[in-house]
Chains A and B, each alone.
Chain A
Amino acid sequence: MTVNSVDTTYREAVREAIREALLGDERVFLMGEDVGHYGGCFAVSKGLLAEFGPERIRDTPLSELAFVGAGIGAALGGLRPIVEIMTVNFSLLALDPILNTAATLCHMSGGQFPVPVVIRMATGGGKQLAAQHSHSLEGWFAHIPGLVILVPATIDDARWMLGWALKRPDPVLIFENQTLYNRKGTLQETGAGNPLQARVRRSGRDITLLTYGASLYKALEAAEQIALKGIELEVLDLRALRPLDETTIMESIARTHRVLIVDEGWRSGGISAELSARVMERAFFELDAPVRRICTEEVPLPYAAQLELAALPQVSKIVAVAEQMVSKHG
């Protein structure tokens, strides 16, 4: 449905989502490193300090453990925090409150203390930031029961998922791939619908391609290229990594009978492994070919451009593997 299409960017879409949340509920506030005076490391919150003041756009010291934990406490106390961790790389300093507190408290208290906190962070490589600033760990977090993991790839999802997340009584982690912030486009929708439902972003009869985040665009480009050779990829944008929308995935496989997973995380023990296992459990007899995966190579991401390109999933690789899948078994 196209309603009131607007030229915007992913960055502006996230900002508008935050603005809307702040305007709509006085319990909502944003906190994190450099969200206020600096305007956000990726300029997402630029201008919000002037509009909403320092109590609702709250600059924090470099204390990920404490301010993530404080966000959880504030949520328990009745506020609706949006905690911004500058990037996923620094979330490692806050793993304890995320896993041992946010994810456990509702269950461990017998349902008495749900934790309605939203934690946003930038994720992903591809900008020559080297090994300590290029992680894709959203699949790791998806391992943890008690969390909801959202991975908005599109401008619409950047715009609408946050409001949905803030209405949830559970901790929701939103991973924004850092290569997407400059992406331009138009808003097509007026709400997130159900972000826990995967979406078919391109229909095709030959291979179901499961992906999320920035890899979605590599997948779509690969699909365009390979369509010229008569191979049609059905590209699914997972949108949420926990819970996984098995229904949409299995429906697509029932049409295509082949599965290719593209994930910017590492292969071993990653979300691609989980997806593959679920396909085996539920759609084994639908398959005409083995499940294939294209993941980041098992290496700390290097700085040098050609090495980083070789490490990350690329369009050419997707095309090559998809061709193999069809020619070998087609």
Chain B
Amino acid sequence: MSTDSSASQSPLPPAEISRDLLRQMLRVRRFEEECVPQYQAGKIRGFLHLYVGEEAVAVGVISQLQLKDAVVGTYREHGHALVRGVSARAIMAEMFGKQEGCARGRGGSMHLFDAATRFYGGNAIVGGGLPLAVGLALAEKELQRGGVAVCFFGEGAVAEGAFHESLNLASLWKLPVLFVCENNHYAMGTPERIELAGQGVCAKAEVHGVRARSVDGMDVAAVWQAAGAALAEARSGQPVLLECNTYRFRAHSMFDAELYRERSEVQAWERRDPVACFLARLESAGVVKKSEWEVWQQEVNAEIAAAVAYADAGTEEPAADLLRFVYAEEEAR
């Protein structure tokens, strides 16, 4: 595929980081691509929302996080979980509905959770994650732990009251929270021009006193740089919104016939493929050799294949366990 990397004027991160960003994007891309045949084979059921095309956002932001930070995602969150450190096999097993999954098969594709990496979902009500992130940030501040709560959401959520209420609270209380708007320009099938009035997402954030900036969400280097700066501000108690302009290459979900957008529009964005463009940049800068890239592909393919095998071999939780975890099994600490 031909690529258009002319927009990528952002400075390259240091070589080791650039290499890792590329490799992480590759992992997300391959993981998502593998979901399609697994869905078609009936191994993955329910709703399945793929992140293909948007990889630079999760990879650029999450690569800047510290272990103590908290992450709140949406229902299109496989990539976020993977980059955050949830294993591919635990995610795949979750989507296969197996008890070896990262939520014991109770959540599925839209509800990945992992306490060890402070990954708080997997929230499938649009806008529902924002107040949650505000509360997590409040806990960071009051307990003086120095962590940031990072909340991913689409521009569709910007029309929800939860967005405005949450940004107002975060600003009033000076909370360490980074709001990452993954603007892929469609709320399911509704284009941005008929869903959001006014001067755009950043302007809406700024009226609440939240600093906001827009970044090329197809350029992982640009996202990484912007996220680093935004996180430093957020960590000091100044909530920040980062709008990442991106595009979903695939349908909204597996049930979407894509009647609302032209193929030519999709193709224009595909020429800005975040993985292919960044690979081209790193190759021409001599940061990655073609032979290395091929090895990475093999390694990632092996990782994903192992994840599928693990999920296939996973066990089903007996129906006798159905009512477990409706209430906590351990006493509160």
Contacts and interface: CB of A to CB of B under 8 A. Distances in A.
B332 A114 contact: yes
5 A-B pairs with the lowest CB-CB distances in the bound complex, closest first: A73-B135, A69-B131, A77-B139, A110-B104, A66-B165
Nearest to B161: A65
Contacts of B328: 106, 111, 114, 116, 168-170
A68 B138 CA distance: 13
B121 interface: yes
B133 A73 contact: yes
Interface stretch (A38-46, A94-102, A212-220, A284-292): A94-102
Given A61-B169, A97-B128, A112-B115, A69 B107 contact: no
B136 A73 contact: yes
Interface stretch (B24-32, B294-302, B319-327): B319-327
B104 A101 contact: no
Contact of B128 (A69, A77, A113, A169): A69
Interface in A66-120: 66-79, 81, 96-97, 100-101, 105-114, 116
Contact of B115 (A65, A79, A113, A168): A113
Interface string B120-135: 1111010010111111
Contacts of B332: 114, 116, 167-169
Interface of B: 70, 99, 101-107, 111, 113-115, 120-123, 125, 128, 130-140, 142-143, 149, 161-162, 165-166, 168-169, 172, 324-332
Given A100-B125, A112-B115, A113-B113, A77 B325 contact: no
26 contacts: A61-B169, A66-B131, A67-B165, A69-B135, A70-B131, A70-B169, A73-B120, A73-B132, A73-B134, A73-B149, A74-B136, A77-B136, A79-B143, A96-B162, A97-B131, A101-B128, A106-B325, A108-B106, A109-B113, A110-B103, A110-B104, A112-B103, A145-B326, A168-B328, A169-B331, A169-B332
A48 B226 CA distance: 42
Contact of B169 (A66, A101, A110, A114): A66
A76 B327 CA distance: 15
B326 A70 contact: no
Contact of B125 (A68, A73, A96): A96
A105 B137 CA distance: 18
Given A111-B324, A146-B327, A70 B134 contact: yes
A197 interface: no
A251 interface: no
